[in-house]
Chains A and B, each alone.
Chain A
């Protein structure tokens, strides 16, 4: 199985800050990576697919980049509603695997 490692496991930032979360795959997955946002008590929501393709309705302050084994999710200007845990997922090969998540807290 492809292992997905996220860092940091948690981050605390202020409204307006730029926040970057990283995800590393244990082998080359091309650009076949997604990011999800899970707010407390809710199901995950797909933010981004194919490393950088923003899903409809997702604010443009979210962006994704990377290919191969190293990927980043960036929030350009943190908003209070961005309080959530963020997960990456590889779609390159079965079984699909997820990172353990990055918990984003607002200072």
Chain B
């Protein structure tokens, strides 16, 4: 059973870079996409982006200019960098595994079937 363990700095100042890492254990990461999702306090979830083992990425256009997701295959880890943070980036950040369902013509549809424990990141001066 896959387990995701995440870590990173929890308190940042405006304009800092947010950096989080997620370690994958219990299953081979091959063949999956891996994602980052965040949840601002008391509200819903926002998909940030995802990456596969080959390094192919998809990003939310609302964050694309500031986001980089990378993967270290040798360590079975993937990471999130978000530059120039503001108070609006304060949130609980989760890493997650993407479960893919293929439609009738091979189009992938993605869900999130395993989650890390979450890291609260607060941006404050």
- Residues in chain A within 8 A of chain B (CB atoms): 32, 34, 36, 43-46, 49-50, 55, 87, 89, 91-92, 94-101
Contact = CB atoms under 8 A, between A and B. Distances in A.
Main secondary structure, interface of B, reads strand
Interface in B61-114: 61-62, 94, 99, 101, 103, 109-113
A91 B44 contact: no
Contacts of B103: 32
B60 to A, nearest CB: 4
**Size bracket, chain B contacts:** 20 to 34
Given A55-B113, A87-B45, A95-B60, 19 more contacts: A36-B112, A43-B115, A43-B116, A43-B117, A44-B115, A46-B99, A46-B111, A49-B101, A49-B111, A50-B101, A50-B109, A89-B45, A91-B109, A91-B111, A92-B109, A94-B60, A95-B47, A97-B47, A100-B44
B108 to A, nearest CB: 9
Main secondary structure, interface of A, reads loop
A78 B53 CA distance: 41
Contacts of B99: 46, 49
B16 interface: no
A46 B61 contact: no
Contacts of A50: 101, 109
B43 interface: yes
Contacts of B58: 94
Contact of B44 (A43, A95, A99): A99
Contacts of B117: 43
B45 A44 contact: yes
Please list the 8 inter-chain residue pairs (A to B) with the smallest Cβ-Cβ separation, ordered nearest first: A43-B115, A98-B45, A91-B109, A100-B44, A95-B60, A96-B47, A34-B111, A46-B113
